[in-house]
Amino acid sequence: MRLSRYFLPVLKETPSEAQIVSHRYMLRAGMIKQSSAGIYSWLPLGFKVLRKIEDIIHEEQKRAGHIPMLMPTIQSADLWRESGRYDDYGEEMLRIRDRHDRDMLFTPTAEELITDIFRSHVGSYKDLPLTLYQIQWKFRDEIRPRFGVMRGREFYMKDGYNFDLTKEDALHAYNRHLVSYLRTYERMGLQAIPMRADSGPIGGDDTHEFLVLAETGESEVFYDSQITELKFGDREIDYDSVEQCQAVLEEFTSRYARTDETHDEAVFAEVPEERRRTARGIEVGQIFYFGTKYSEPMGATVVDNEGNKVPVHMGSHGIGVSRLLGAIIEASHDDKGIIWPEGVTPFHCGIVNLKQGDDEADAACEALYKSLTALGLEPLYDDRNERAGGKFATMDLIGLPWRITVGPRGLKNGVVELTSRRTGESEELSPEAAIERIAQIYGLAAKV
């Protein structure tokens, strides 16, 4: 993308309404614009990151064997009356009356609707196991929305639902979700720690929240420091293997890690003192096993292999997609702006032309732009007629992890400058070598 043709309305001043760094930077980098309290438009740069996060989630969910679909945002109140949650949910549910005076609502979650779909179409244990998921807009009418997309009213969420014959099978689905979530967050450059959680309004027995450590986190968390040394990495896993998934669960949840809601001082005291940590965390996901809580009242049953009609065992598993942008920025920034992890960066690298209008510099930038694009990468080429300082400030603010700087002086020596946003370190090298390095960073070595 050429910046002169893009829509990137960066702000010079820090908006006064933004209390936390991710909110400030998302506004300043022209990623979002508030349209009303807790409701945002996703400007092109923000939308691009949102889409990248969504793509990673889809890839990892499909890899785990989960099946994507989509449920509507506006639902009838009837199903929610069946489960009893229409009254329970309180004022956070956005209630709507349509022109025929029917009670509708903007879905805050979808246990009822997915259970209805299941009971309408599935009748035999042979059709299990089944895990369906969606990534869809949700609404919670927060009384005091704040922190930008971190606690908005309209938010984008991945919610998945497993249907299994037995508790044992459902716990395997639970573990499968845990593994796929670990992979998902790591690909986004995040360390998200599974912590034993409280089941809240969804209800359930087994549940873990995934928390990203950050000073601005809303939850207080208590953990054994050993847990931060764990990495899922690029190990192979067979999602059908009960043993393999169970082993990952045990590895990642056997050390103490809890939020303030489930914290137990006595148990925590058993952790060696030098490993006891208290910090703040941002919740970016949650997995639940809740058994027959919805299947029983709503009649979601299957016939088992002995001919008995039994309610299915279910769980629901969520990732806060829009909130993840905030969480990533909270975890990865400096005083100049955002520092995107490579996995979610809106553009793979920036190209800064130090002297727009200089034939040689223009030609070198064009050549870089075309070569990178031909590799399937997306560079952002700052081709505006601006001073170098302004161009650098914009690139630093929007946080592209790599920047190639091109100027007449370097070109005389046959070099451009490659700069890491994270370390600030620069290196002079030929344009070809710079392309090769960028390609390598993004795992394209073979194609160059």
Residues that bind a second copy (CB under 8 A): 5-7, 9, 30, 33, 35-36, 39-44, 46-48, 50, 65, 67-76, 78, 91-92, 94, 96, 98-99, 102, 104, 106, 113, 116-117, 120-122, 130, 132, 134, 137, 139, 141, 143, 153-154
Min separation Cβ 115 and a second copy, Å: 12
Q: For residues 198 and 245, what is the distance between their CA atoms, to the nearest angstrom? A: 22
Min separation Cβ 106 and a second copy, Å: 7
Min separation Cβ 272 and a second copy, Å: 45
Min separation Cβ 430 and a second copy, Å: 30
Which of these, 393, 445, 444, lies nearest to 421 by C-alpha position? 393
**Of 46 and 337, CB closest to a second copy:** 46
Min separation Cβ 221 and a second copy, Å: 30
Rounded to the nearest angstrom, the gap between the alpha carbon of residue 243 and the centroid of all alpha carbons in its chain is: 27
**Of 50 and 349, CB closest to a second copy:** 50
**Of 121 and 412, CB closest to a second copy:** 121
Min separation Cβ 445 and a second copy, Å: 19
**Of 143 and 266, CB closest to a second copy:** 143
Mention every residue, 6+ apart, whose C-beta is less than 8 A from residue 13: none
What does the block give as tokens for 270?
């058993």
**Of 3 and 331, CB closest to a second copy:** 3
Min separation Cβ 143 and a second copy, Å: 7
What does the block give as tokens for 134?
């969606």
For helices 44-63 and 167-187, angle between their N-to-C axes, nearest 10 degrees: 140
Across 174-218, the runs of DSSP E, i.e. the strands, are 192-196, 206-213
Phi–psi pair at 353, nearest 5 degrees: -90, 115
Tell how strand 39-42 and strand 32-36 pair up: antiparallel
Q: How far apart are the first and last CA of the chain?
A: 21
Long-range CB contact pairs, 245-248, < 8 A, 24+: 245/172, 245/175, 245/176, 245/178, 245/179, 246/172, 246/175, 248/175, 248/178, 248/179, 248/182
**Of 7 and 265, CB closest to a second copy:** 7
Min separation Cβ 310 and a second copy, Å: 20
Contact status, residue 402 vs residue 421, Cβ threshold 8 Å: yes
Contact status, residue 231 vs residue 173, Cβ threshold 8 Å: no
* Residue whose structure tokens are 């998921």: 133
**Of 76 and 356, CB closest to a second copy:** 76
**Burial track 169-196 (b if 16+ CB lie within 10 A, e otherwise):** bbbbbbbbbbbbbbbbbbbbbbbbbbbb
**Of 68 and 191, CB closest to a second copy:** 68
Min separation Cβ 362 and a second copy, Å: 18
**Of 112 and 330, CB closest to a second copy:** 112
